[in-house]
Amino acid sequence: MPFPRRRVLTVCAGAFGIAAAAYLTVPDKSRHAPTVDDAELSPSHFTHLKVPPFATPIWSVYIKDDDIQVERAYTPLRGIDDEGRMEFWVKRYPRGEVGRWLHSKHVGDTVEFRGPLTTWAWKDGANWDEIVMPLIESKGYKIADDLNPDRVDAFKERPKGPVEEPLYPHLLVGTRMWDKRPVMLKLSRTDLWEATIFEHLASIPDPDNHTIPFYDLITPPEEPTSEYQWCIIITPRLTDCRDSHLRTVRDLVDFVTQVVEGVCFMHRYNVAHTDVARTNIVWDERPNVPDHVRVEPDSLLSRWFKKKPPVVRKYWFIDFGLACSFSSYESRGLVKGLCGQHRNIPELSEEVAYDPFPLDIRQIGEMLNRDYLALYKGAQFLVPWVAKLRHDDPTQRPTATQALAELQHLTSSLSEEKLSSRIYKHGDWPYLARNTAFVLLVWFILNGFFFYYQWDRLRMTVTIDSETLAALDNATNRVIEE
């Protein structure tokens, strides 16, 4: 007796479910580095090793990308051998700048690195916790729980993880106590004047001011034995522009306009950022409310029925560690040094002085060309304008005010249809094609189920009387004889 079709379908669905559950729950074979073997952790694996500071081995070194001013921490697999060599396991991520750059190197190429680098250091022992932690909390801020001295003995022994920026060890994550607002705490050297420039710009009431809000400045007591003196800058924790933040051409125009407005504002007050890059521009994912207003979470019903106002996204500049500030327009001068993340700019030099203000304009062009025009379809209308910003001769580039005026003139001619059109990355499916393919796939699946379950009902029973059947037989016989 053959199985009914529904029973066969049930058996197949059950087998598929078991296979899917096994795929999701059974762990894959370990794909570890070739220098590591699978082994169970010993009971003392997390026991802290107490060693004096001078005997602490090199845990990580910083490797710098020559093309852009970015460095990343890498841990040697075996430390340093007798010949001064180190081995690294370098992963190549799609968005990893230094990893991709290292994979392009060949045997014999020169790579610049430094280390070990000690950050957030205070004194030997737990004095950092005893002095700085209470100082931070007295200002109304709280360090993430995994970095709280109540849970571990000393800051240097705390576990690394998502609560601390692994690529930026001078940054810490915390919250503002009264409204639970996520904040970022940045350790900065006082001799670089970053905090002074930052606080000055953030305090200026100007609609073109795109300096990230400056919450607080904490200055710990001076440490006589330290080579540098440090301060802690506290700002809101926002999302940088490496995450997807553009959906339409209007979003792109708004982003570029705000970036140029921010540079115009800084130049108006005789400050050159000198590190305009996508990683130094952030945006707020929260609803558009004043920063001092506490946002209560909506109830489930209000999320469904409450009409949400249109969100106007605002972009902010961060990281003024390389900024150049002058007291007036007349006192502006030239600078030297290889600064910024875009290292292909011709005037950058450690020997020949250059003007830092045209450098900002070129950096805007480099950022847009590399991170947006080369990645997105639908942004080609900006190509002629970006080409002016990327002129090799600094004197031929427009000023920030001129660049903003040209951009506004260019975008004012765009139609509403163009502004509302979607932009997408090269290689991605367009929005309409993706949704059409999805609808067709669902239609085919539903039709397949329909015909499978309704096949018996689609059979038609035709009743033929004996006279009609005899006539059909006679007609068939005549055809055969002929």
- Tell me the binding residues for FAD: 72, 74, 91, 98
Q: 333 CB contacts (<8 Å, ≥6 apart)?
A: 326
From first CA to last CA, the distance across the chain in angstroms is: 45
Contact 335, 325 (CB under 8 A): no
Per-position b or e across 129-163, b if 16+ CB within 10 A of its CB: beebbeebeeeebbbbeebbbeebeebbebeeeeb
Q: 464 CB contacts (<8 Å, ≥6 apart)?
A: 472
Helix, strand or coil for residue 163? coil
Nearest to 160 by CA among 75, 222, 71, 236: 75
Q: Return the H-helix or E-strand segment holding 150.
A: none
As annotated, the binding site includes 72, 74, 91, 98
Phi, psi of 218 (to 5 degrees): -110, 125
d(CA 272, CA 259): 13
d(CA 137, CA 175): 10
d(CA 53, CA 273): 37
Helix, strand or coil for residue 62? strand
Q: CA separation (Å) from 104 to 109, 111, 343?
A: 10, 12, 17
Q: Residue 307 is encoded by which pair of tokens? A: 């009409």
Q: Residue 98 is encoded by which pair of tokens? A: 């230094």
